[in-house]
Structure 1
Amino acid sequence: MIITELLAILSIAAATGLRLALPLLLIGLMSGPQLWSNVPLLSRLPPALVLGVLATWSMAELMLSKDRYSQRFFQILELFLSPGVGALAGLAVARTFGLDGWINPLIGLISALLALVIQLLQVGWFYRPRRPPLWLFFVVDGLCIALAVLAFDAPNQGGIIALLLLWLVIRTSYLWQHWPRRSKPRS
């Protein structure tokens, strides 16, 4: 059924919206001996190179993204790269489930947009007057890993979590839009 595949694609796209390299690394590790054969651009590179780059970038995301100054670097870079990585990951999951053909551009677009809006939410939270607490960054890392694993093992649950994240993005953007109007004193 195509609904299950769509939910898996949403799950991996949401994971790439949270972190970039970690979902791609998990896609390769979970796909068995063929590694990144379903990922469009990564399948053309040597697997050892891809593994080294993704493992290094994942460790940097997990360790250095907690620091305030290196976090700015990561967020700017991830903001620009998240649509492309989201599209690659969505297409990789679609290929894993056997979806090919005319639907691929639509899958790439949906995955790219979901990854971008989730990344925009993270950037928005960072530039608020009060920085989010440190434990929240660990929750984001755990959620990214869970969404990437659920995309393959339990796509329905992963897709529902991704849709809840999309609802959170919409709700937060609505609150941020109307914030100045609520904070003005009444005359």
Structure 2
Amino acid sequence: MSLDVAIVEILAALSISAAAGIRITLPLLVLGLLQGEDFWYNVPILSNIYPPIVLGILISCCLIELIASKNLLGQRLLQIAYLPLCPIIGAILAIALIQGVPKILIGLVGGFVALLLQLIQAGWFYRWNRFPLWLSFLQDSLCIFLVYLALKAPQLGGIVALILLGLAVNSYKELRQWYLRQYQSRRDR
């Protein structure tokens, strides 16, 4: 395998992992629909389940996820579910998408990318007390866009994922300063 092909696969894995850091079941469903029925045989864990059953479960979970993300209680429940599950799904998606690059390493990187993006979202959710409805729709659209880019334009998808990671690092700095101000104001009381 050439270095160019390996880099393209790594960028595609970053893109799909970033999508998993935004939503969990939506990237799995979109990727499975775009790749076809044979795709499910390459996905760790899901390859042991009959593909129509996997598709039915993913459609049900995706609908729940999309509906729940539009109200406050649903957003809180999703945050609780996302934190432990998104690194697992990010790793699974990254491993399922690549062919020749070392799968364990890509799985770890994919899981880390998904977890980092999810932690930043959880921080903003805590700060704002809820996500605005427009942001929820933006998350859905960005998730689908990242999956599409991972398949059709992996270089661009990887660049978008790297930009999201840069924004997440910047966002972390701002969240940390906000938290420290909150902590200082409570301490001064």
| TM-score > 0.5 by shorter chain | yes
**CA pair 28-124 structure 1, distance change in 2 beyond 3 A:** same
Aligned residue identity for 1:162:
A
Query: Any residues of structure 2 matched to 1:60-139 within 5 Å, and which?
Result: 60-94=64-98, 98-99=99-100, 103-129=102-128, 131-139=130-138
Alpha-carbon distance, 1:179 to partner: 3.0
**CA pair 178-32 structure 1, distance change in 2 beyond 3 A:** same
Any idea what the Cα deviations from partners look like across 1:97-144, whole Å, max 9, x if unmatched?
Answer: x225xx111101000000001111111111114534210110010000
Indicate conservation of the 8 Å contact 1:7/1:156, yes or no: yes
Any idea what the Cα deviations from partners look like across 1:34-90, whole Å, max 9, x if unmatched?
Answer: 131111111110111100110111111111111101111111111110111110000
SS of match in other structure, 2:106: helix
| TM-score (norm: length of structure 1) | 0.90
**CA pair 11-173 structure 1, distance change in 2 beyond 3 A:** same
- In structure 1, the gaps of 5 or more residues are none
| TM-score (norm: length of structure 2) | 0.89
Corresponding residue of 2:157: 158
1:148 and 2:147 aligned: yes
**Paired-residue identity, %:** 46
SS of match in other structure, 2:127: coil
Aligned residue identity for 1:99:
G
Q: Could you say what the CA RMSD is over the residues aligned between the two structures, in angstroms? A: 1.7
**CA pair 90-4 structure 1, distance change in 2 beyond 3 A:** same
Corresponding residue of 1:29: 33
Match of 1:20 among 13, 20, 24: 24
Q: Distance in 1 between matches of 2:25 and 2:74?
A: 16
Corresponding residue of 2:50: 46
Q: Count residues in correspondence.
A: 180
- In structure 2, the gaps of 5 or more residues are none
Indicate conservation of the 8 Å contact 1:35/1:47, yes or no: no
**CA pair 87-180 structure 1, distance change in 2 beyond 3 A:** closer
Q: Distance in 2 between matches of 1:73 and 1:182?
A: 27
Which structure dedicates a bigger proportion of its chain to helix?
Answer: 2
